[in-house]
């Protein structure tokens, strides 16, 4: 449920903005009775799916491979329904008060939402490679650990946001997939490691088959784990470094 709420805050603009959306659904049910079948019932069904951890886990694991279950949030017409509600409210207001109400509504929408550019969703690259600085840190941790352990090769499995960039930045790193999986076991590994609640125990046997030396996952994938799933440390993995978004592990079967 924590993963769902985290996705909710990232995708829905925060609680106040989502509150306006829920208010708009209620408004449509009470005021626009002839539009219930079009705007109320479908969105209510989607919300019941989104906030059900069992259904979301099933969908994310078997239908949306690659940890992209959060894209279901795109099915909800949040800005559209808020606009429908406020447009009808403005229609009910007559005279000069309409200007005041319109400005008040605009201010409400601005204060309820999140300024996307200021929330960490965007960032300027400040290096010659035009890549996120975190990626260079991840590569450095892996290269230094490979040298200290005297490993023959850097055989890495990482979440997709890192995988396709890491191989471009450091050609010495062996990756089993970039943006999309190819090759033996790659599809299974890709589906598990990009899930918001990855089963590290299940993935451990796959990483051993491909002789992966290192694994890169998101912080949330470790700390938001339900109790019945095992953390990488419980499998004997060694944390060799961490950045603001990622944790880098050495596996327990490197040669």
**Does the pLDDT of residue 57 top 70, yes or no?**
yes
pLDDT in tens, 76-113: 888 888 899 999 999 988 888 888 999 998 888 887 76
Evaluate if residue 64 carries a pLDDT over 70.
no
pLDDT for residue 15: 72
Q: What confidence category does residue 67 fall into, taking pLDDT thresholds of 50, 70 and 90? A: low
Least confident of 118-127, 179-188, 222-231: 118-127
| Confidence class for position 254, pLDDT limits 50, 70, 90 | low
pLDDT tens by residue, 200-228: 888 888 888 888 899 999 888 787 777 77
Mean pLDDT of the chain: 81
pLDDT of residue 239: 93
Domain boundaries, the chain: 2-118, 133-250
pTM reported for the whole predicted model: 0.56
Please state the three-class secondary structure of the chain as a single string: CHHHHHHHHHHCCCHHHHHHHHHHHHHHHHCCHHHHHHHHHHHHHHHHHHCCHHHHHHHHHHCCCCCCHHHHHHHCCHHHHHHHHHHHHHHHCCCCHHHHHHHHHHHHHHHHCCCHHHCCCCCCCCCCCCCCHHHHHHHHHHHHHHHHCCCCCEEEEECHHHHHHHHHHCCCEEECECCCECCCCHHHHHHHHCCCCCCHHHHHHHHHHCCCCEEEEEHHHHHCCCCCCCCHHHHCCEEEEECCCEEEEECCCCC
pLDDT at residue 114 greater than cutoff 70: no
Is the confidence at residue 66, as pLDDT, over 60?
Answer: no
Which span out of 10-24, 70-84, 126-140, 193-207 was modeled with the highest average pLDDT? 193-207
Task: Identify the band that residue 10 occupies on the pLDDT scale cut at 50, 70 and 90.
Answer: low
pLDDT of residue 231: 85
């Amino acid at each position: 449920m924590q993963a769902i709420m985290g996705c909710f805050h990232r995708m829905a603009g925060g609680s106040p903005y989502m509150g306006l959306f829920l208010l708009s659904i209620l408004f449509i049910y009470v005021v626009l009775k002839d539009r219930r079948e079009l705007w109320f019932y479908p969105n209510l069904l989607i919300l019941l799916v989104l906030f059900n951890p069992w259904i979301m886990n099933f969908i994310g694991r078997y239908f949306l491979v690659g940890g992209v279950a959060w894209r279901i949030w795109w099915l909800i017409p949040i800005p559209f329904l808020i606009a429908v509600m406020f447009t009808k409210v403005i229609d009910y207001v007559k005279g000069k008060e309409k200007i005041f109400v319109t400005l008040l509504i605009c201010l409400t929408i601005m204060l309820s939402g999140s300024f996307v550019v200021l929330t960490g969703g965007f960032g300027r690259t400040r290096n010659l490679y035009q890549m996120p600085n975190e990626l260079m840190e991840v590569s450095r941790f892996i290269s230094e650990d490979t040298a200290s352990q005297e490993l023959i090769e850097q055989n890495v499995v990482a979440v997709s946001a890192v995988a396709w960039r890491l191989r471009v930045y450091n050609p010495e790193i062996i990756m089993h997939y970039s943006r999309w999986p190819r090759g033996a076991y790659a599809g299974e590994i890709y589906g598990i490691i990009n899930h918001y609640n990855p089963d590290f125990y299940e993935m451990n046997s796959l990483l051993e088959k491909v002789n992966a030396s290192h694994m890169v996952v998101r912080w949330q994938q470790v700390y938001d784990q339900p109790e019945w799933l095992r953390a990488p440390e419980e499998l004997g993995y060694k944390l060799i470094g961490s950045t603001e978004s990622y944790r880098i592990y050495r596996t327990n079967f490197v040669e």
